[in-house]
Amino acid sequence: MPESIETDVVIIGAGPVGLFAVFELGLLDLRAHLIDILDKPGGQCAELYPEKPIYDIPGWPVISGQELTDRLLEQIRPFDPVFHFNRMVERVDRRDDDGFRVVTDEGDEFSTKAVVIAAGGGSFQPKRPPIRGIEDYESGSVFYSVRRMADFEGQRIMIVGGGDSALDWTLNLAPRAERVTLVHRRPDFRGAPDSANKVRALAEAGEIDLLIGQVAALEGEAGMLSAATVKLVEGGEKRVEISRMLPFFGLTMKLGPLADWGIELRDNLIPVDTEKFETSEPGIFAIGDINWYPGKLKLILSGFHEAALMAQAAKRIVHPDEKVVFQYTTSSSNLQQKLGII
């Protein structure tokens, strides 16, 4: 059993609203750990539109998704948040002493007084490619990431896609597999030009097969693939015998395991009150795009407001005996000390 990490608050989701929650909680002396399925902070801002301008952040006539993320990270640095990336929270269980036990798919365990769900549109998960019947093979033959190299040693692997993941795994697995076939819908690759050139060189040397087209059909039985048919752009079809498939079709947002945490949902959103932004489960809060209340607007600025009010309520749960005095960062020496200004 891994050691449980003790904290005041676990924030699920390190998007802009989750990040700002660290600030509001920090001003009230609450320590936070953040868990995110991505490998970096910023959520949709970093994953979907890092370069795209945002025009409705107060005080910023224009700011990019990445810049906003960077600024928030700078703003919360005094509170020393701890990030846990590449993890999805699988369970949130209420403990007898009224706190929560939070468990991730990597087996980390947290012991916390309050949980803040700031999961935006849900967790980013690999997109299932548009191939009929692919779900039948997901238990044994089709993988969306390489977790254990051994699963691919000596196999006939079909890699599908044209980004860095597809190119990198083609290069990595080619020496270890019996055969690698890379399938992409066009001759140009999204991934790094250097990797693309290496892949083309391997194909020219006959070390791998490179097919330009789209996977049209799969064959196999009992959950194990035996062949795939590729519809070629130049015309015609090619049937390739395979035992593994690695499709890389990007990420999509799914609600994920939070549907099983006993929280009331409404159209895949979490209803909350507008005083504390608490869910149907006391001690579990929901802020940002994932929540719903009458008049809700899915704006980053709404999430910031929700984070501030949530923090007041979380404070009362974590430190029930402390009196909370409302203070301004501009004038409170106490808050300025916490921010490391004085």
Partner 1 sequence: MPKITFFTHEGKEFTVEAPVGSTVMEAAIRNSVPGIEAECGGACACATCHVYVDKAWQEKTGEPSPNEEDMLDFAFEVRPNSRLSCQIRLRDEFDGLIVRIPERQG
Residues near partner 1 (CB under 8 A) are 44, 48-49, 52, 121, 127, 130, 161-163, 184-186, 188, 190, 214, 249-250, 252-253
Q: Which is nearer to partner 1, 5 or 232 (CB)?
A: 232
Residue 35: CB minimum distance to partner 1, A: 22
**Residues 259/174, Cβ–Cβ less than 8 Å:** no
Q: How far apart are CA 224 and CA 151, in angstroms?
A: 13
Q: Which is nearer to partner 1, 122 or 220 (CB)?
A: 122
Q: Which is nearer to partner 1, 55 or 328 (CB)?
A: 55
Q: Which is nearer to partner 1, 91 or 200 (CB)?
A: 200
- Look up residue 131 and give its amino acid: I
Q: Which is nearer to partner 1, 188 or 275 (CB)?
A: 188
The torsion defined by the Cα of 206, 212, 217 and 218, in degrees rounded to 10, comes to 30
CB neighbour list of residue 341: distance below 8 Å, 6 or more residues apart: none
Q: How far apart are CA 38 and CA 84, in angstroms?
A: 9
Residue given tokens 């270890």 in the structure block: 176
Residue 110: CB minimum distance to partner 1, A: 30
Which H/E stretch holds residue 185?
A: none
E runs forming strands in the chain: 4-12, 32-35, 53-54, 63-64, 82-84, 89-94, 100-104, 109-117, 123-126, 156-160, 179-184, 209-221, 224-232, 237-241, 244-247, 251-254, 270-271, 284-286, 291-292
Q: Which is nearer to partner 1, 99 or 122 (CB)?
A: 122
Q: Which is nearer to partner 1, 52 or 95 (CB)?
A: 52
Residue 278: CB minimum distance to partner 1, A: 28
Residue 160: CB minimum distance to partner 1, A: 10
Rg of the Cα atoms in the chain: 24
Residue 164: CB minimum distance to partner 1, A: 11
Q: Which is nearer to partner 1, 65 or 99 (CB)?
A: 65
Residue 161: CB minimum distance to partner 1, A: 7
Residue 162: CB minimum distance to partner 1, A: 5
Residue 214: CB minimum distance to partner 1, A: 7
Interior/surface letters 169-178, b for 16+ CB within 10 angstroms, e for the rest: bbbebbeebe
53-54/291-292 β-pairing: unpaired
**Residues 119/279, Cβ–Cβ less than 8 Å:** no
- Look up residue 51 and give its amino acid: E
Residue 281: count of CB within 10 angstroms of its CB:
17
